[in-house]
A and B are shown apart, each in its own frame.
Chain A
């Protein structure tokens, strides 16, 4: 796959690989997504807006330059801006791959960090020299102002130009609680949302504080995804129940949506609305209870995102998908192409869905 290295959320030549419930692969233009779904289906998206979570500054005790990446929070409430988990890097910036970034100075509980107008204190280390719990000083309004003005979106070495906040906000971005963009949502624009409605396909949202996708540190990356709070609105629960009653499918737009829905639905009873904290890992052994399909970016084997796809499809199908993406030069990473993956085996008996015909080739 090729790295998508320009921050264009909806390039006109973006593509969609469709892997249907029978394991058949087809290529489509990405704006065909509504035509690859069925009337009665429900698309559920993550409407979190992305914080400028990269904060540069100084570790006061050592005088060393640091980059602090906010990476975790304990509450979905937008007002909860005092305490975060964070990954700390030493000198350098996004032009250096995270894998090659130096460690920060030795961090100890009580250490002060000066991050532009923000003052923070290290509360504790979280089992790794880069990973800390920190607490900002000041009022919530002052902290938000400091983050809004001093912070920058977390940058990617594979994207050539610095990302601005508007590059990483999806069209539906609402509450600013995500640390990296819920980038599967880049596929959406208001025209597509209108087209979903025209085709009798439902659209609903939840808010999930999407965490960082990679730290460049193998030990830390093995701990991803961190715990992520989410909010499942009552209106979305109702839309899901209505969809299921009528035999439609729940199509999760992005791995964060799968994680939130499956956490909420883990009990197997009626889906509860309200806040929750997704703590689980999803993989080949996970029994999906809510999501019938996922629309996601194209992920490299080995990542936690790729691992999650194992809940939807067999290893052999995922290998065929990876092969098709590779052979057809799909673009990967946040601004890359998309995959629509339908769950191969459905626990619930559903009427056969015959999506609108796609003018695309079989692989």
Chain B
């Protein structure tokens, strides 16, 4: 069977929050393009269901908000994929549902939002940094994509826990990126836009779904970013190699 021209075969991608919304669309899109994909989600039964439905996708049950789950997740991700090129920190929580004013947000709810949306991506990135840097040393693209939101930039009433945690993740991404560039690992924050997802429905049950972006469209845009990064990394690797062989 010939390889399709836009194949991502050989690319190793890990996605958190992979059983619904954008995460599921990313698993589907990347698998359809031939990438090796492993995904993480909390509900073991749902993980097994998605893994069965998408042949070749490796499902891992775990909670990125739990410190004790991080290394078992990292071990299974790199073990299943034989290394790692791209990590997509997509798993998110809204904080209080229904949405609450900050003044009505319980401290515990805010802490829970920070655990899932900030500490989880921080811990998982740190645990997988060895694998990502190893990929970069071998001339492969090494990329971390942190999924954020325009609520990280604009102040929307009722989106305090979510917005503040995503703002933190966005800034964390910028600092990671500055620090990790010398290792060949790039970190970007991506706002996929308002999508028709279970999370959006939980936040704004009365929203006009027809006006919302389809997760599959957002997934295609993110995959295009990954491809562009891969081409840039390959170009940089060639330039790096040329002086040595001259």
Question: Which A residues form the contact surface with B (CB < 8 A)?
Answer: 47, 49, 51-52, 77-79, 81, 140-141, 144-145, 147-149, 164-166, 169-176, 190, 193-194, 197, 204-205, 207, 233-236, 238, 242
Q: Is the CB of B78 within 8 A of A141?
A: no
Q: Is the CB of B182 within 8 A of A174?
A: no
Residues of the B chain whose Cβ atoms lie less than 8 Å from the Cβ of A78: 78-83
Known: A49-B131, A145-B76, A165-B75. 8 other contacts (CB 8 A): A141-B51, A170-B130, A172-B134, A173-B130, A174-B84, A176-B75, A194-B182, A234-B138
Of B73, B74, B82, B138, chain A has the most CB atoms within 10 Å of the CB of B74
Q: Is the CB of B61 within 8 A of A47?
A: no
6 sampled A-B residue pairs with Cβ under 8 A: A47-B130, A78-B82, A79-B82, A144-B76, A165-B72, A205-B134
- What is the size, in residues, of chain B's interface with A at 8 Å between Cβ atoms? 32
Q: How far is the CB of B135 from chain A (nearest CB, A)?
A: 8
Residues of the A chain whose Cβ atoms lie less than 8 Å from the Cβ of B171: none
B94 close to chain A: CB less than 8 A: no
Q: How far is the CA of A193 from the CA of B179 in the complex (A)?
A: 12
Q: How far is the CB of B59 from chain A (nearest CB, A)?
A: 7
Q: How far is the CA of A52 from the CA of B75 in the complex (A)?
A: 10
B210 close to chain A: CB less than 8 A: no
Q: At the interface, is chain B mostly helix, strand, loop or mixed?
A: helix
Q: Is the CB of B127 within 8 A of A235?
A: no
Top 10 closest pairs, chain A to chain B, by CB: A148-B72, A165-B71, A174-B131, A174-B134, A174-B130, A172-B130, A173-B130, A176-B75, A78-B79, A144-B79
Q: Is the CB of A176 within 8 A of B79?
A: yes
Q: How far is the CA of A238 from the CA of B245 in the complex (A)?
A: 11
Q: Is the CB of B138 within 8 A of A141?
A: no
Q: Is the CB of A172 within 8 A of B76?
A: no
Q: How far is the CA of A147 from the CA of B73 in the complex (A)?
A: 11
Q: Is the CB of A149 within 8 A of B72?
A: yes
Q: How far is the CB of A206 from chain B (nearest CB, A)?
A: 10
Q: Is the CB of A242 within 8 A of B82?
A: no
Q: Which residue of the partner chain, among B51, B73, B75, B130, contacts A51 with CB atoms under 8 Å?
A: B75
Q: Between A and B, how many residue pairs show CB distances below 8 Å?
A: 96
Q: How far is the CA of A47 from the CA of B137 in the complex (A)?
A: 12
Q: How far is the CB of B90 from chain A (nearest CB, A)?
A: 20
Q: How far is the CB of B87 from chain A (nearest CB, A)?
A: 13
Q: Is the CB of A193 within 8 A of B75?
A: no
B192 close to chain A: CB less than 8 A: no
Q: Is the CB of A175 within 8 A of B138?
A: no
Residues of the A chain whose Cβ atoms lie less than 8 Å from the Cβ of B81: 78
Q: How far is the CA of A175 from the CA of B75 in the complex (A)?
A: 8
Q: How far is the CA of A156 from the CA of B75 in the complex (A)?
A: 22
Residues of the A chain whose Cβ atoms lie less than 8 Å from the Cβ of B58: 141
Q: Which residue of the partner chain, among A47, A145, A147, A197, contacts B134 with CB atoms under 8 Å?
A: A47
Q: How far is the CB of A165 from chain B (nearest CB, A)?
A: 4
Residues of the A chain whose Cβ atoms lie less than 8 Å from the Cβ of B138: 233-235
Q: How far is the CB of A12 from chain B (nearest CB, A)?
A: 20
Q: Given A148-B72, A193-B183, A205-B134, A169 and B127 touching (CB < 8 A)? A: yes
Residues of the A chain whose Cβ atoms lie less than 8 Å from the Cβ of B137: 204-205, 233, 235-236
Q: How far is the CB of A273 from chain B (nearest CB, A)?
A: 10
Residue of A nearest to B140 (CB): A235
B30 close to chain A: CB less than 8 A: no
Residues of the A chain whose Cβ atoms lie less than 8 Å from the Cβ of B79: 78-79, 81, 144, 175-176
Q: How far is the CB of A238 from chain B (nearest CB, A)?
A: 8
Q: How far is the CA of A233 from the CA of B74 in the complex (A)?
A: 22
Q: Is the CB of B75 within 8 A of A148?
A: yes
Q: How far is the CB of B57 from chain A (nearest CB, A)?
A: 10
Residues of the B chain whose Cβ atoms lie less than 8 Å from the Cβ of A205: 134, 137
B139 close to chain A: CB less than 8 A: yes
